[in-house]
């Protein structure tokens, strides 16, 4: 016998036609004859709205991925940076002046924001010093940011404790690796809580600071995608880019863009020794967070790619990096 039933939904994706029909009028954009295309299905669903003359980005946050306060804080932070003179993809208001939408989906309420498009092109090899200098300007501009809307901090709990919860089910048949990863996460939590690291610079951070989240527009760099940002150690923000390069070979040639980047950063904002020396430690922290991000996201992305080769690669990298940088003394 055939039985029709309604199942719970983990994650649904709206149609492009639905966005054009229901969302564009809220912004007065329905007369622009825009096309709509899903360009990214990750932590959030990101749509490109475009015609021959203009572009916009419409982001729908995953259900329960962020709270309303988190997103309102993100919006206010981007507007703060814009007011300070940095180029950013701006959250745009509706005709009623609201920059945050609440949309109903089968899985529940999801927030959504319309952004201006970050014009320009991906960074070229000769722009990494400018990349570093612009990131320093972002950190300087963030110093006096405040908001009535609290946002989760990128602290040891978020970066080292929560990821283990999502990683653990994938290591049930690798008990030695699981025990090692637990021990390393605890060791680095203790290190970050120690007096040795009590003076690390803390402030609002982008959280995903790498060239993939910037465009070069006529010699100026444009930031976008602040979704993973929040209050954190500035050394962590800088370690994000280094962790990508180190994972992509890790030899001198691979790391050279990082050296250019950090030199450019320090032409604008010199780093204290304590912060500079902590960056390799935060490469490990970032990698553990990244494994948690991947395993958590597998609920909607699928998990076939999180196989033994994935964990071999990531755990081997961690062990090699820790040994090369003598991070366990």
3-state DSSP assignment of residue 68:
helix
Superfamily in which the 16-116 domain is placed by CATH: Phosphorylase Kinase; domain 1 (3.30.200.20)
Domain ranges across the chain: 16-116, 125-324
Q: What is the pLDDT of residue 80?
A: 98
Cα(310)–Cα(297) distance, rounded to whole angstroms? 15
Q: Which of 134, 324, 304, 158 is nearest to 246 (CA)?
A: 324
Which pLDDT score is estimated for 250? 67
pLDDT for position 248: 82
Is the pLDDT score of 1 beyond 70?
Answer: no
Overall average pLDDT of the 279-295 stretch: 97
Q: Is the pLDDT of residue 17 over 90?
A: yes
CB distance 73 to 147 below 8 Å: yes
What does the alpha-carbon distance between residue 236 and residue 258 come to, in Å, rounded to a whole number? 14
d(CA 318, CA 184): 9
Mean pLDDT confidence for 151-180: 98
Domain 125-324 has CATH 3.40.50.720: no
Identify whether the C-beta of residue 280 lies closer than 8 Å to the C-beta of residue 21: no
- φ, ψ for residue 96 (rounded to 5)? -90, 0
Structure token digits, residue 27: 């912004």
DSSP assignment string, 78-144: HHHHHHTT-EE-PBPP-TTS---EEEEETTEEEEEEEEE---SBPPPGGGHHHHHHHHHHHHHHTTT
Whether pLDDT at 252 is above 80: no
Contacts of 59 (CB under 8 A, 6+ apart): 44, 45, 46, 47, 112, 113, 115, 227
Q: What distance in Å separates the CA atoms of residue 241 and residue 261, rounded to the nearest whole number?
A: 9
pLDDT of residue 54: 97
The mean pLDDT of 291-301, rounded to a whole number, is 95
User: Rounded distance, CA 149 to CA 198, Å?
Assistant: 26
Picking from 106, 99, 45, 108, the residue whose alpha carbon sits closest to that of residue 71 is 99
pLDDT for position 19: 97
What the block records as the tokens of 261 is 């980047």
Output the average pLDDT for the chain: 95
The two tokens of residue 187 are 């060791």
Q: List helix spans (H) across the chain.
A: 16-22, 24-27, 68-83, 128-141, 156, 162-167, 175-193, 234-247, 252-268, 273-301, 308-324
pLDDT range class, residue 128, cuts 50, 70, 90 = very high
**What confidence score (pLDDT) does residue 329 get?**
66
In the numeric block, which tokens belong to residue 185? 């996460």
* Per-residue pLDDT tens over the stretch 170-203: 999 999 999 999 999 999 999 999 988 999 999 9
Q: Which pLDDT band, with edges at 50, 70 and 90, does 7 fall under?
A: confident
Express each pLDDT in 50-100 by its tens digit: 999 999 999 999 999 999 999 999 999 999 999 999 999 999 999 999 999
pLDDT at 218: 87
């Amino acid at each position: 016998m055939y039985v029709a039933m309604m199942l719970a939904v983990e994650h649904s994706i709206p149609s492009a036609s639905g966005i054009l029909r229901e969302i564009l009028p809220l912004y007065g954009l329905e007369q622009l004859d825009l096309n709509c295309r899903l360009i990214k299905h990750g932590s959030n669903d990101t749509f490109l709205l475009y015609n021959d003359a203009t572009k916009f980005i419409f982001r729908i946050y995953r259900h329960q991925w962020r709270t309303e306060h988190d997103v309102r804080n993100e919006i206010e932070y981007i507007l703060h940076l814009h007011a300070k003179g940095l180029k950013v993809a701006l959250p745009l208001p509706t005709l009623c002046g609201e920059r945050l939408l609440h949309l109903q989906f089968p899985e529940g309420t999801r927030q959504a924001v319309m952004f201006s498009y970050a014009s320009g092109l991906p960074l070229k090899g000769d722009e990494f010093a400018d990349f570093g200098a612009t990131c320093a300007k972002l950190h300087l501009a963030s110093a006096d940011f405040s908001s009535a809307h609290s946002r989760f901090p990128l602290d040891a709990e978020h970066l080292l404790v929560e990821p283990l919860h999502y990683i653990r089910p994938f290591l049930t048949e690798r008990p030695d690796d699981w025990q090692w990863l637990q021990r390393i996460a605890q060791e680095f939590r203790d290190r970050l809580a120690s007096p040795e690291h009590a003076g690390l610079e803390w402030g609002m951070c982008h959280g995903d600071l790498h060239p993939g989240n910037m465009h070069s527009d006529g010699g100026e760099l444009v930031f976008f995608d602040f979704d993973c940002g929040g209050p954190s150690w500035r050394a962590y923000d800088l370690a994000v880019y280094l962790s990508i390069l180190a994972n992509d070979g890790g030899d001198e040639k691979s790391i050279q863009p990082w050296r250019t980047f950090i030199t450019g950063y320090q032409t604008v904002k010199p780093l204290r020794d304590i912060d500079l020396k902590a960056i390799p430690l935060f490469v490990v922290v970032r990698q553990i967070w990244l494994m948690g991000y991947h395993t958590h996201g597998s609920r909607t992305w699928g998990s076939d790619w999180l196989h033994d080769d994935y964990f071999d690669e990531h755990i081997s990298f961690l062990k090699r990096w820790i040994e090369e940088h003598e991070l366990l003394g």
